[in-house]
Amino acid sequence: MRLGVAATAPIGADVLDRLARTHEIVFLLTRPDAPRGRGRKLGRPPAKEAAERLGIPVYQPEKPDLPEAVDRMVVCAYGLYIPPRLLDQSLWLNVHPSLLPRWRGAAPVERAILAGDAETGVTIHQTVAALDAGPVAARESFPVDDLNAGGVFARSGELAARLLDAVLEDPRFTPQPEDGVTYAEKITAEDRKLDLDDPVDAWRRVRALSPHIGAWATLHDRRVTIWSGHLDGGTYVPEVVQPEGRAQMTYREFLRGVR
């Protein structure tokens, strides 16, 4: 079976890499290179880096298009709206890292952790015009426990590849239920602010935004990004921090510098 993959973000790169081990990937459809980091130098999407390493042809149109016909299109964190004319050209299967219909939208992993969900998972569904609303071919859950977003993405990529292997050839679809629909809005600057007086929320927020975004608080009159920490009774205790303009360090090292 000839597959095309539409992906941009790291989880898309992970799924592409796993699929390429057992399937023929004809091409990767990804977003154009974009400025990244403080220097705003042009950077390649993570999925493009994976495709180039695997020798898979890469297409980066400003608007989605298919360079050739394939039996299936697998979508995972592509980030651009796919118009109906393309959905009619092949069967598109979307990898969504949540238990749909909960957390449709842009930031399902982060929102699940922020909300304190006990479990999350992966849903494979048919891509349709409405956002993450297509019928479901496969879905499986796993516990969130104390995972951060990076850990959830890693579990999701592994699970997604296994679910796709089971349904790519002959998917059987079930409509999503009408009850339980929630939306995972994009992470904003306001979402990054920590309230250390609410230790449980701080614990969730740091995990939800690590290691890719970062949540911050003011500590000893300095803005500090907190990358990890733990709950100790009724207190949130930072473990790895990054003062503005500095490299990451342990919280103890930061405190020694303050003294």
* CATH code (residue 202): 3.10.25.10
Q: Is there a single domain that holds both residue 247 and residue 127?
A: no
Q: Is there a single domain that holds both residue 221 and residue 150?
A: no
Q: What is the pLDDT of residue 257?
A: 86
Q: Which two tokens stand for residue 80?
A: 């651009």
Q: What is the pLDDT of residue 176?
A: 97
| Terminal C-alpha separation, the chain | 63
CB-based burial of residue 237 (10 Å sphere; 0-12 exposed, 13-18 middle, 19+ buried)? middle
8-state DSSP, 191: G
178 has a pLDDT exceeding 90: no
Residue at a domain's end among 183, 201, 221: 183
User: Any idea what the CATH number is for the domain that residue 21 is in?
Assistant: 3.40.50.170
Q: Is there a single domain that holds both residue 87 and residue 114?
A: yes
Residue at a domain's end among 160, 183, 206: 183
pLDDT digits (tens, 9 = 90+) for 207-249: 999 999 999 999 999 999 999 999 998 899 999 999 999 999 9
Q: Is there a single domain that holds both residue 152 and residue 209?
A: no
CA–CA dist 152, 148 (Å, integer): 6
Residue 184 phi, psi (nearest 5): -100, 90
Q: How many CB atoms lie within 10 A of CB 205?
A: 24
Q: In 3D, which of 117, 114, 85, 89 has the Cα closest to residue 102?
A: 117
Q: Is there a single domain that holds both residue 77 and residue 164?
A: yes
CA–CA dist 90, 88 (Å, integer): 6
Q: How many CB atoms lie within 10 A of CB 227?
A: 19
Residue at a domain's end among 156, 183, 210: 183
Q: Is there a single domain that holds both residue 175 and residue 222?
A: no
* pTM, full prediction: 0.95
Q: Is there a single domain that holds both residue 104 and residue 142?
A: yes
42 has a pLDDT exceeding 90: no
CA–CA dist 223, 23 (Å, integer): 47
CA–CA dist 102, 105 (Å, integer): 9
Q: Is there a single domain that holds both residue 150 and residue 208?
A: no
Q: In 3D, which of 39, 20, 36 has the Cα closest to residue 28?
A: 20
When divided into structural domains, the chain yields a total of: 2
Q: Is there a single domain that holds both residue 201 and residue 220?
A: yes
Q: In 3D, which of 134, 138, 135, 140 has the Cα closest to residue 174?
A: 135
Q: Is there a single domain that holds both residue 170 and residue 207?
A: no
The tally of CA atoms less than 13 A away on the side-chain side of residue 91 is: 18
**Domain carrying residue 152:** 2-183
